Amino acid sequence: MTMHIYSGPLSMFGAKVEIAAREKGVPFELTMVPFTKDDAYEPKHPEVLRVNPVKQQVPVLTDSSDDTDRVESGVGGVGGVALFDSTQIFEYLEDRYPAPAHLALWPAGIAERARARQLEHQSDEVFFPNVIRLFGLQHDMKSAPAVAACAACARFYETLEAQLATREYLAGPYSFADIAFYMACVFADRKGAGMTEATPRLLAWRERVGARPAVRAVVDPMMRFLASQGRGVPTFLQR
């Protein structure tokens, strides 16, 4: 195997990348970088530092495939590819493995693909920041900042509930957008901003996505790690 993914046992963004690679049937080697009880990834893995020296975060993907190098430079075995950021890795996986078409994770149509990319971006940059705010508020979930963050998550759920009125997945066919939002929802539920019966279509969507073998292969070990550390496991994943 020439592709290597560096992730972490509680890395939401790393989980996104691993799920995508599994969905596309891409062979890869997985390294879980060291993780401490204080939610820190220490000591920093040397490959993570090399590829992502500023943020020093996972996920990181490296691909030393000869045919990748030939495509890029005309010469095999020179350089390879080294990437960080889950969205950039999504794009690379789709460009690197465009076939077979039934395993594509961006929709084929231009408008549909743009919608899926927008939804994936909103999941990371609009929805998830509200979840991040809750990380430091678990001791006071009735505080004004916590209530506001939960309310913002609920409004986002309502928006997607409306979109699911005419489709099974967020952008039409199953896509990177579904992978991104599913993982964001796992962490939202852990921090007290989970879905409710107010969004039944979204709950059904979560069951469909969560039943996929690639998703189970990544999420189940994460939940076992949480349980082993005495950390809360989302109710919908306690099985």
What is the residue-level pLDDT of the chain in tens, covering all 239 positions? 689 999 999 999 999 999 999 999 999 999 999 988 777 888 999 999 999 999 999 999 999 975 544 444 433 333 599 999 999 999 999 999 998 888 999 999 999 999 999 999 999 999 999 999 999 899 999 999 999 999 999 999 999 999 999 999 999 999 999 999 999 999 999 999 999 999 999 999 999 999 999 999 999 999 999 999 999 899 999 87
| Two tokens, residue 137 | 């508020």
What pLDDT score was predicted for residue 193?
97
DSSP states of 195-211 as a string? --TT-HHHHHHHHHHHT
What pLDDT score was predicted for residue 30?
98
Q: Which three-class secondary structure string do you get for 102-151? A: HHCCCCCCHHHHHHHHHHHHHHHHHHHHHHHHHHCCCCCCCCHHHHHHHH
- The 8-class DSSP code of residue 44 comes to P
Distance, in Å, from the CA atom of 32 to the CA atom of 11, rounded to the nearest integer, reads 10
CATH of domain 110-237: 1.20.1050.10
Distance, in Å, from the CA atom of 176 to the CA atom of 114, rounded to the nearest integer, reads 12
- State the CATH class of domain 3-103: alpha beta
What pLDDT score was predicted for residue 69?
47
**Domain spans, the chain:** 3-103, 110-237
